[in-house]
Amino acid sequence: ILVPASGDKLSAIPIEELFPAQEIVVSAGARADGRRRVEEVLTAALALTLLDQPPIAVFVHAEEKPYVLEAPFLERLRENLLSRGIDIVEWPVLLESEPTGLVRLDPGKSRPAVFIILPPDSTTTARTGEQRGGLERSQRLGAVLEQLVSTGQNILLSLNPPFQKTYGDADPITTPLRAFGIAPSGLPIFTERFADGKRTVETDKVVIARSESHQPLAGALRGLPTYFPWPIALKPAEKPGAELKLEILLEVPADDATWGESTWLRTWQTPRARRQSLPDLPKFDPGPDERGPWTVALAAEKADAATGQKQRAVVVGSNGWFFD
């Protein structure tokens, strides 16, 4: 099956990619995934055919060695990007002052790039063989993010709970978001459950995109569940300026069992399998804690007053959602 050409480009889709053998479908129990499979294959082929300047995904992190291009848990993500003609570059900011891979791939800066920020766990100390703990790595990544924002780059930022805010300091990762009118509360969203006489606390959520939003990303997500480990509430500016447009992508609705937790650190540092054995599980405190609803993903667009050039950012109040 051939996708119509654009210019001198043409994409071919093997017939077995669209319509796998019936015995394979039945044995895999994959009937419900058929439409999604066709949609993904066609989207990838159209992207390869129609994009004159294919985009580049630049993964930016502050780990002490590269991992994005090799890590098994990111294999599906890499496959999805590459199948759509999106090249991948890794920028370990502790090792490089600028993204050398991006410079080699696009020396003329003619292709659109999105800088995907992967923040470290700022609660960690330096591990064996490492020189920097989480706080220092957060500060370094925050400085790079500030530079990217100030130079008009497009950004996708996923957030960990900000450790610095627990003792009153500014969080270097979220501070640059003020330029987009976004102020994360820093409070992870907890939910309590009762079963067999026991109380448990959940730190993850499954979120469905808002049906009334007209933002293109929300349209692509509509009806699909997104798994959010440790969702964090985001606060959009109440009255964004004329040059700034904010769109809510994902929300966690309010209910009596769910709240924004201020004393989350011990739960975060306790392995998941051992959390329910903690002597005092967190519970809602009407003073420092917050009730919902909560925005957990925002899209922002900002126009430069002098040139009119647009800069975009997507902020997701969770880190690791794309590992699923």
| pLDDT tens per residue, range 64-84 | 899 999 999 889 889 888 888
- For residue 2, what pLDDT band results from cuts at 50, 70 and 90? low
**Predicted pLDDT at 17:** 66
**Predicted pLDDT at 45:** 72
Q: Which residues have a Cβ under 8 Å from the Cβ of 259 and sit 6 or more positions away?
A: 189, 190, 284, 289, 290, 291, 292
Over residues 19-35, the pLDDT tens digits come to 666 655 555 555 556 66
**Predicted pLDDT at 31:** 53
| Lowest-confidence pick of 43-52, 81-90, 200-209, 297-306 | 43-52
Over residues 260-295, the pLDDT tens digits come to 999 999 999 998 888 888 888 999 999 899 998 999
What pTM was computed for the model?
0.84
Q: What is the DSSP string of 65-79?
A: S--TTT-GGGHHHHH
pLDDT at 1 over 60: no
Q: What are 167-175's contacts with CB under 8 Å, separation 24+?
A: 171/122, 171/138, 171/142, 172/138, 172/139, 172/141, 172/142, 172/143, 172/145, 172/146, 173/117, 173/119, 173/122, 173/138, 173/141, 173/142, 173/145, 175/142, 175/146
Over residues 229-272, the pLDDT tens digits come to 999 999 876 666 667 888 889 999 999 999 999 999 999 999 88
- For residue 4, what pLDDT band results from cuts at 50, 70 and 90? low
**Predicted pLDDT at 186:** 76
